[in-house]
Amino acid sequence: MEGLSESLMHELAPRKLPEVLSELIDYCIDLDDQIRDRRTPREKPKRPLPRLAPVFQAPPRELSPPSESMQLGHTRLTEEERTRCFREGLCLYCGLEGHLRFQCPTRPRMHDKSENLLHLRQLRRQVLGVTCMSAVKGIKLMLPVSMAWETKTTHTTAFVDSGAAGNFIDVEYASSISLPLVVRETPLAVEAIDGRPLSCSRITHDTVTVVLTTGLLHKEEIIFQVIRSPSNPVVLGFPWLVEHNPVIDWAKGEILSLSPTCFGTCLIPIQHIGALNTPTAPPLSTEVPDQYADLRAVFDKRETEKLPPHRPYDCAIDIHPGTMPPRGKVYPLSITENQIMEEYIKENLERGFIRRSS
């Protein structure tokens, strides 16, 4: 994953990592803080370790002789104590195994700073999403899109990235299509998980409201944050996925269907053409010339209600054993279109023209 320091990647390699993204982010942040504390001693730590709470009494873990017990109640551990904690996987707060400092049950919570900590954690999660974009390899979920603003329209493809914390557009691409930009009231800081600034250290501009059409029928209004992303000029991130909640086949890179709420808000209604008032066609017998009277049965519509008999000269359609026909893409249909399709399938099943494959 790009954005992580080499020392942090080295520490993560032998460890069992959390499977939940939010827990993995907290795990990496806490481990990175520990590495920084170990590497550069500070005169006054940014987050001093509080004294042990009396609600949890745990026997202190003894260091191997001739070292003394870890004084975890002090505001600072010795370098030897920290080294032993890192080597044996011990908590820097209580000295026990099985958890890290941020997970310690005896560590008091700073309620007076909860709002600031929540804001910082949300910002760091946004940073992680931005960092992940360039690290995705293999199959990418790319959607054909068109963007319209004022009197202009442009067509391109958008990269759907569940790891991106926003909807982004490349600054060079926005300039090439003359897309107007708006200065943000509050710039959004962007840095890697280890604190290093990325190529764009701050997001200072947004786009104007753009009408984004995805595929053939999905239309919405959207605002993009402007970053440097030449490999993926348009990125639809986690907020877009949450809003539309599509069913995605990530292995094949396809969107199978959209959220039911999109049928009433985002999908373009299909225009139906009313039937024309035309006179009823004359009987068939009056349309068949006399010289073809003996072939009148061929023009009878009732003959179309059944399949013709098999004949020796029928063309065979051989299917290779153990194979399946290729699976076609599934496109979202309106409620009316779904009803028409179901009636068509039911009618042809009753006629025997088609049959269920399973």
pLDDT digits (tens, 9 = 90+) for 150-195: 989 999 999 988 888 889 999 999 999 999 999 988 888 765 545 5
Q: What percent of the chain has pLDDT over 90?
A: 14
Band of pLDDT at residue 343, cut at 50, 70 and 90 = very high
Structure tokens belonging to residue 215? 């595929």
Contacts of 116 (CB under 8 A, 6+ apart): none
Band of pLDDT at residue 199, cut at 50, 70 and 90 = low
Mean pLDDT of all residues in 217-246: 89
Cα–Cα distance for residue pair 334/311, rounded to 1 Å: 41
Q: Report the pLDDT value the prediction gives residue 176, as an integer from 0 to 100.
A: 93
Mean pLDDT of all residues in 279-291: 68
pTM for this model (two decimals): 0.41
Domain limits, CATH 2.40.70.10, in the chain: 136-265
Q: Is it the case that residue 240 has pLDDT exceeding 50? A: yes
Report residue 23 CA to chain centroid gap. 18
Q: Report the pLDDT value the prediction gives residue 292, as an integer from 0 to 100.
A: 83
Band of pLDDT at residue 198, cut at 50, 70 and 90 = low
Give the bridge partners for 150, in sequence order.
none
Cα–Cα distance for residue pair 338/343, rounded to 1 Å: 9
Q: Report the pLDDT value the prediction gives residue 99, as an integer from 0 to 100.
A: 75
Band of pLDDT at residue 73, cut at 50, 70 and 90 = very low
Band of pLDDT at residue 103, cut at 50, 70 and 90 = confident
Winning range, highest mean pLDDT, from 64-78, 89-103, 112-126? 89-103
Mean pLDDT of all residues in 315-337: 81
- Residue range 136-265 in CATH 1.10.490.10: no
Contacts of 270 (CB under 8 A, 6+ apart): 217, 334, 336, 337
